[in-house]
Chains A and B, each alone.
Chain A
Amino acid sequence: MSNLTKEDVIKFLFFLFIVKPFIFWVLGINVRGLEKIPKDKPFIIAANHNSHIDTLILMSLFPISQILKIHPVAAKDYFCNTKFREYIFKTLVGIIPIERIVTRQSKENIFRDINEALKNNHSIIIYPEGTRGEDNTILEFKTGVAHIAKMNPDVPVIPVFINGPDKILPKLDSFIVPFISDIYIADEEYYDNSSTLSFTHKIKQIIENMYLEHKKKETL
């Protein structure tokens, strides 16, 4: 922690004084299974995605001392379309931009930044759906998360189901209405040397099971 940059300090203060109080006091979260997140090794969080709030909630789950080691993977075409947006999101949230359109040239180094972060003991948050779903639906999963897990077989993937942010800030709306969110954290999964397709399917299955468990609780 000796070589802190200005950007690191800004991110740290942003989460300590703005994001965390906002998530815990203005919105409120209800977490189940927080102890399943490893404390001293890198991990990949794979979650369903309905709202920008998802990222802020997931990043608030960790102790503030770890915040500089968490990076959400974000769509380059959306978050980095201007230099200003790129600077803001990289500084405040610490995103790792990723190309959503894979070309022959980009295919090799598309995961380069992510692999490097995981090697440096940093953790990532990824939304395998690749975009935000509407009305609390879970879309088809892209296989990116399985490719990352395959390249880093000793890093666990932690499936997470989030319910609520689609009400707080839906995809097609621009103002926030406070609600309490539910977060379900599942046991860690390692890449099992099957195909990337079946591993992706397995992760999706776990998240959908948590979704069904939540629904069952709602209609008791």
Chain B
Amino acid sequence: MGSIYLTDNLKMCVIILYISLIIITAGAYVLKFLKKDASNFITRMKSFWIIVILFTAAFMFNKAAAVFFIMLISYLALKEFFSMIPTRRCDRRVLLWAYLSIPIQFYFLYTGWIVMFYLFIPLYLFILIPLRMVVTEETEGFLKSCATIHWGLMTCVYSIGYFAAYLSIPNEINPAGGSVGLLVFILLLTIFNDFMQYLFGKIFGKHKITPKVSPNKTWEGFWGGVFSTGILSVCLYQILTPLSILQSAIIGFCIAIAGFFGDITMSAIKRDMGVKDTGALLPGHGGILDRLDSMIFTVPLFFHFIAYDFNIGILN
């Protein structure tokens, strides 16, 4: 399992990302200098810098480091999820089994055993979790407990596992950006979409989409996000992906919509659990799940779009 192939296009993209981050951070400090209230924005940027630097460092060396890094993220997210939901005392062993599924799942990802990656959580853990739970013979809240634990595994281990699944895509499919290029493409698009939806909503927002789930989301913000993400997708497709211009426009729109739904789904869960943030790991953002909410939907979606388009997937 060798090193990760980084193309020149990809390196250039990462450098541009860093430059734009520096410009945005400098802008935040200028606002602060002009006595505007930007402290929340600055804490957000600081957390964001740490995330970006850790990500770059993890993907610079080899596959093992990158997969291990994603595994840590997955563990932190699952821990956050289990701390947020109500759990039964008798399910302690079940939760331990759920945690132990993480290294197994990432072993499949590391070795590129894609079929087992596809099946392990959705099928085997779907059987193993209730199997372990029924042994304790506590029937009160049984279905609810099964369902919440499996939901946590699907979001925090299976979906986040797709970050590492991109490394199994053969580099020949994507001469421009390599396998990591596809991952960078989807992450850039998702984060850009989050930011643009927020920005358009802040400036033009009037008509609420989901007043009960997430009162900050507006139709203006949504359409602003969809179109600007589509535009960014069309700008980046030649640099990072093997897609055609039409495909990249379609996927840009799809990612924006999926990202929006990922975001409000996590909002609905937080509202159900009665918490504002899923955690406090990232100052300014909240928990790690608050940051990953839209990626839980977009990253697997884009992976399967690529897999479908280029006939990769279940057979290799």
Contacts and interface: CB of A to CB of B under 8 A. Distances in A.
Interface of A: 27-28, 30, 135, 164, 167, 170, 173, 175, 177-180, 217-220
Interface string B265-307: 0000000001110011100000000000000000000000000
Contacts of A30: 279-280
Interface in B64-114: 76, 79-80, 82-83, 87, 89, 92-93, 95-96, 99
B80 A167 contact: no
A179 B83 CA distance: 5
Given A28-B76, A177-B95, A180-B279, A218 B274 contact: yes
A93 to B, nearest CB: 25
Contacts of B99: 177-178
Interface residues of B, number: 18
A219 B80 CA distance: 18
Given A30-B280, A175-B93, A180-B83, 20 more contacts: A27-B79, A28-B76, A28-B80, A28-B83, A164-B83, A167-B87, A170-B89, A170-B92, A175-B96, A177-B95, A177-B96, A177-B99, A178-B79, A178-B99, A179-B82, A180-B279, A217-B275, A218-B274, A220-B274, A220-B276
Given A167-B87, A220-B274, A173 B79 contact: no
Given A167-B87, A218-B274, A180 B96 contact: no
A180 B80 contact: yes
Contacts of A28: 76, 79-80, 83, 279, 281
19 contacts: A27-B79, A28-B83, A28-B279, A28-B281, A30-B280, A135-B89, A164-B83, A167-B87, A167-B92, A173-B92, A175-B96, A177-B92, A178-B79, A178-B99, A179-B79, A180-B80, A217-B274, A219-B274, A220-B274
A30 B281 CA distance: 8
A28 B78 CA distance: 12
Contacts of A175: 92-93, 96
Nearest to A164: B83
Contacts of B279: 28, 30, 180
A220 B275 contact: yes
Contacts of B95: 177
Nearest to A166: B89
Report the 4 A-B pairs with minimum CB-CB distance, sorted nearest first. Answer: A220-B274, A180-B83, A30-B280, A179-B83
A150 to B, nearest CB: 37
A104 to B, nearest CB: 42
Interface in B26-61: none
Interface-centre pick from B76, B83, B96, B281 (highest chain A CB count, 10 A): B83
A174 to B, nearest CB: 11
A65 B93 CA distance: 37
A135 B76 CA distance: 25
Nearest to B278: A180
Nearest to B80: A180
Interface-centre pick from A27, A30, A178 (highest chain B CB count, 10 A): A178
Contacts of B275: 217-218, 220
Contacts of A178: 79, 82, 99
A53 B203 CA distance: 48
Nearest to A175: B96
A167 B96 CA distance: 12
Nearest to B98: A177
Nearest to A178: B79
Nearest to B86: A218
Interface string B137-171: 00000000000000000000000000000000000
Interface-centre pick from A173, A175, A219, A220 (highest chain B CB count, 10 A): A220
B214 to A, nearest CB: 15
A1 to B, nearest CB: 33
Interface-centre pick from B79, B93, B95 (highest chain A CB count, 10 A): B79
Nearest to B95: A177
A177 B87 CA distance: 12
Interface-centre pick from A27, A170, A180, A217 (highest chain B CB count, 10 A): A180
Nearest to A28: B79
A110 B96 CA distance: 42
Nearest to A172: B89
A46 B93 CA distance: 31
B227 to A, nearest CB: 35
Contacts of A167: 87, 89, 92
Contacts of B96: 175, 177
B301 to A, nearest CB: 29
B303 to A, nearest CB: 28
A179 B95 CA distance: 10
Nearest to A30: B280
A175 B83 CA distance: 17
Interface string B182-216: 00000000000000000000000000000000000
